[in-house]
Amino acid sequence: MDVYHKILTKIYEVTGGKDSVEVDLNDLLKQEGFYSNIDNISQHLATESWVAETPRPRVVKITHWGAAEARRVMTNTPDTQREVAKDANRLLADSRELIIMLEEFASNPNGSKFKTIEKRFEDLQALLGRIRPNM
C-alpha cells in the first residue's frame, strides 16, 4: 500500500466513511510520520478527488470516491477497470512491437526472428487471457 492509500484509509477510519466529518491533516500526518510531505500528500488526495478541502487550511473531508477507494484498499480487491485498461494498453504496445518484428522477419526471415515472434504471440495470448474474464 502506498503512502497516499495509507493516509486515505486512516482518514476513512477517523471519519467512519462519513463525508461530514472533518480531519486535520496536520495532526494525522504527524501521527503517521509523514508530516514533511504534507503538501504533496494533500495535493494528491485532492487531485484524485478522494478528499474535499474545507475553508480551514489542511483540514479535509473524505468524499464518496475516497470512501469507496479506502474500502477497496482495505478489502484488498483490485480495481478491475484500471487493471483491464492497463492490460489493454500493454496489449496495444506489444501488438505494435509485433508488427515491427513481422516486418523485419518478412524482409529477412531467419530462425531466431521466428522464435522471437512466437514468444511475442505467447505473451499476447497471456494478456488476452488476463483480460477475458473481465469482459
Band the pLDDT of 78: cuts 50, 70, 90: low
Between 2-16, 40-54, 76-90, 104-118, the lowest mean confidence (pLDDT) is in 76-90
Q: Can you give the pLDDT at residue 130?
A: 87
Same domain, 12 and 69: yes
Q: Can you give the pLDDT at residue 117?
A: 95
Same domain, 12 and 66: yes
DSSP single-letter state for residue 66: H
> What is the helix, strand, coil percentage profile of the chain, to 5?
75, 5, 20
Which residue range is the domain that position 104 belongs to? 80-134
* Residue at which a domain ends, from 28, 52, 75: 75
79 pLDDT higher than 80: no
Higher pLDDT residue, 80 or 90?
90
Same domain, 69 and 88: no
Q: How many CA atoms lie within 13 A of 92 on its CB side?
A: 6
* Residue at which a domain ends, from 57, 75, 93: 75
